[in-house]
Amino acid sequence: MSPRAFGVLVLGASALVAGALSAMAQPAGPAAQPTPTAQPTPTAPARLAQCVACHGAQGHSTMPLSPTLAGQPQVFLENTLILVREGLRPIPAMRGVLDGVSDAEIVALAAHFSAQAIQPPPQTRDASAIQRGQALAARGLCGTCHLPNYAGQQQMPRLAGQREDYLVHSMRQFRDNLAEGRDTQMNGVLRGLSDGDLTDLAHYFAQLR
């Protein structure tokens, strides 16, 4: 083989190798991308019948001591449901209700109830109790965590529009150090308040929207 022919052969081979390397370096086209796996649809609607039996249609409770879920912050509902499911917040009426409920279902349930509108306040209104409750709430700086309109935020529950009897029950648990699985900061906030004080606070919050 002549030197000229050999040089042409080497150049041709080099070009082929460079072309192959260039093709390997190119990003894969759309057809080469993996197909995303479809996410399962949460089955929250199948659980709603259990929830509304105690917490009412659209989360507006009509059962004594059963809290209203409508309008609660979604993060608060998610956290609470997970704590109940894992047995970290024992609620006798909820025992076993959340067994086997997935995280995706809990998120869907929380989103559903959080999106529900708050109903108008009850007609029974004690102006004196509301005034006393408002003063107690201001003194306790309740609006710092629960927001000035008491609508709640993130992991802080909504107080405005909650059932009055449930608020009294819940605040008594905090005051008496019986609120297992809940934020202990509230124990100190409510320490020293009488049952009458808690009743006034509950009436004030329940009347807000």
Choose one of 77, 99, 119: the last residue of a domain: 119
Does 36 reside within a domain?
Answer: no
Residue 178, domain member (yes or no): yes
Q: Report the SS3 class of residue 193.
A: coil
State whether 207 and 131 are in the same domain: yes
Give the span between the Cα atoms of 191 and 186, in whole angstroms. 8
> How confident is the model over 136-147, as a mean pLDDT?
97
For residue 75, the domain's CATH number is 1.10.760.10
Question: What would the mean pLDDT of 149-172 be, rounded to a whole number?
Answer: 97
Report phi then psi at 140, rounded to 5: -85, 0
For the chain, what is the domain count? 2
What is d(CA 48, CA 43) in angstroms, rounded to the nearest whole number?
9
Assess whether pLDDT exceeds 60 at residue 72.
yes
Q: What is the pLDDT of residues 29-60, one digit of tens each?
A: 444 454 544 444 454 567 788 899 999 989 99
At residue 5, does pLDDT exceed 60?
no
Q: Does residue 187 belong to any structural domain of this protein?
A: yes
Q: How confident is the model at residue 194 (pLDDT cuts 50, 70, 90)?
A: very high
Q: What's the confidence (pLDDT) of residue 48?
A: 86
pLDDT range class, residue 74, cuts 50, 70, 90: very high
Instruction: Judge whether 30 lies within some domain.
Output: no
Mean of pLDDT values over 109-127: 91
Q: Whole-angstrom Cα distance, residue 199 to residue 172?
A: 10
Q: Quick one: what percent of the chain has pLDDT higher than 70?
A: 78
Instruction: Look over the chain and give the mean of its residue pLDDT values, rounded to a whole number.
Output: 83
- Tell which of 62, 87, 119 closes a domain: 119
Domain of 48, in residue numbers: 41-119
